[in-house]
């Protein structure tokens, strides 16, 4: 009897571990090509990750058994509370001559839409979103010219450069929320002068970031980027931002993005956007804004095409057309 019971227990454990391997996600069996789905399917999608219901529905239909639980009421429709379809890009704007926008203006940010409001500074460019209380994205060049020995200024403050009537998020809006004031353009990327470093502490360049993410994996990617400049004398074009919603802060004045992304184009000094070709390293990551991420940012590499699907933006529009489509669709594995 004893050995029989033992065999039954062994059987349960063996069968159980086949169904759901312990410590791993349930097996995912997408019926569509992953390259046509947003990056969250690589780790864990939530309804807040999708810009519209149509995209959530595409994910639901690609995975039998609804592993991400997008259809809680089991009626075949994912994430009913999302808008049916998202509005398209804002109309095209004249191309800026800012060096920080050399790759393009991915959301056609300008001055007509307060949720896609272009702020150009000598240190970076960003598209601010009034309703979210954060930038949609920021874009900046990182080269040896920008790096010096200026101390971190730590002067988080409201951005008085916003148009009149737009609420200016304050450092206090993040206090006791459990989220870090996460830089989009890192303080460490602007150390040439006090003025440059201070520009990164304006609250328009800050988003609410899970502390372990900010101080761990995200910081490591920032340091990897600066190492490309310090050690290999590279010049980088970088864009980063957040999308989706996991919660809000400060009486809904600040939306906490559910996903964080970054694009890094690695060039040699003196090269311009016109020198980008199929040999140009292109690092693209999209990760959950959570404390529980994998410790290696390489885990979250994706393609520009999939990031465009998730965000609705058009990245790399100024990259030579001969290479743009191929670079955007090809996964680049960081060595
Ligand atoms: Mn940070
Ligand atoms: Mn594009």
> What φ, ψ does residue 6 adopt, rounded to 5°?
-60, -45
CA 211 – ligand 1 centroid, Å = 9
User: d(Cα 311, Cα 329) in Å, to the nearest integer?
Assistant: 15
pLDDT in tens, 86-107: 988 999 999 999 999 999 999 9
* Protein residues near ligand 1, an ion, with CB under 5 A: 182-183, 214
Q: Which long-range contacts (CB under 8 A, 24 or more apart) does 154-162 make?
A: 154/201, 155/198, 155/201, 156/181, 156/201, 156/203, 156/206, 157/201, 157/202, 157/203, 158/202, 158/203, 159/119, 159/202, 159/203, 159/204, 161/119, 161/202, 161/204, 162/117, 162/119, 162/128, 162/130, 162/204
pTM above 0.85, yes or no: yes
The active-site residue out of 121, 132, 183, 259 is 183
**What's the pLDDT score for residue 126?**
98
For the chain, list residues with pLDDT below 70.
1-32
CA 233 – ligand 1 centroid, Å = 23
**What's the pLDDT score for residue 332?**
81
- The ligand minimizing its distance to the Cα of 210 is 1
**What's the pLDDT score for residue 31?**
57
Q: Is 183 a catalytic site residue?
A: yes
CA 149 – ligand 2 centroid, Å = 36
- The ligand minimizing its distance to the Cα of 221 is 1
**What's the pLDDT score for residue 314?**
97
CA 238 – ligand 1 centroid, Å = 15
**What's the pLDDT score for residue 26?**
45
**What's the pLDDT score for residue 333?**
79
**What's the pLDDT score for residue 35?**
87
**What's the pLDDT score for residue 169?**
98
**What's the pLDDT score for residue 1?**
39
CA 211 – ligand 2 centroid, Å = 31
């Amino acid at each position: 009897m004893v050995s029989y019971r033992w065999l039954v227990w062994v059987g349960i454990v063996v069968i159980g571990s086949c169904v759901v391997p312990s410590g791993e996600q349930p097996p995912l069996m997408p019926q569509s090509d992953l390259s046509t789905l947003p990056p969250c399917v690589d780790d864990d999608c939530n309804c807040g990750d999708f810009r519209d219901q149509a995209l959530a529905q595409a994910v639901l239909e690609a995975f039998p058994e609804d592993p991400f639980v997008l259809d809680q009421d089991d009626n075949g429709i994912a994430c009913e509370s999302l808008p049916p379809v998202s509005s398209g890009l804002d109309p095209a704007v004249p191309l800026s001559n800012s060096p920080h926008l050399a790759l393009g203006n991915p959301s056609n940010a300008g001055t007509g839409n307060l949720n896609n409001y272009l702020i150009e500074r000598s240190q970076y460019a960003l598209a601010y979103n009034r309703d979210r209380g954060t930038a949609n994205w920021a874009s900046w060049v990182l080269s040896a010219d920008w790096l010096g020995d200026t101390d971190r200024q730590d002067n988080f403050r409201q951005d008085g450069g916003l148009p009149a009537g737009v609420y200016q998020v304050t450092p206090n809006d993040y206090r006791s929320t459990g989220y870090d004031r996460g830089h989009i353009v890192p303080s460490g990327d602007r150390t040439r002068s006090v003025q440059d470093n201070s520009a990164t502490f304006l609250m328009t360049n800050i988003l609410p970031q899970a502390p372990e993410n900010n101080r761990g994996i995200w910081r490591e990617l920032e340091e990897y980027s600066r190492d490309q400049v310090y050690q290999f004398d590279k010049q980088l074009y970088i864009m980063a931002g957040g999308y989706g919603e996991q919660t809000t802060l400060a009486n809904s004045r600040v939306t906490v993005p559910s996903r964080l992304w970054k694009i890094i184009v690695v060039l040699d000094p003196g090269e311009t956007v016109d020198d980008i070709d199929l040999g140009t390293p292109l690092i693209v990551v999209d990760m959950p804004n959570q404390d529980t991420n994998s410790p290696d940012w390489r885990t979250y590499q994706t393609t520009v095409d999939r990031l465009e699907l998730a965000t609705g933006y058009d990245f790399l529009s100024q990259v030579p057309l001969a290479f743009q489509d191929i670079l955007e669709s090809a996964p680049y594995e960081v060595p």
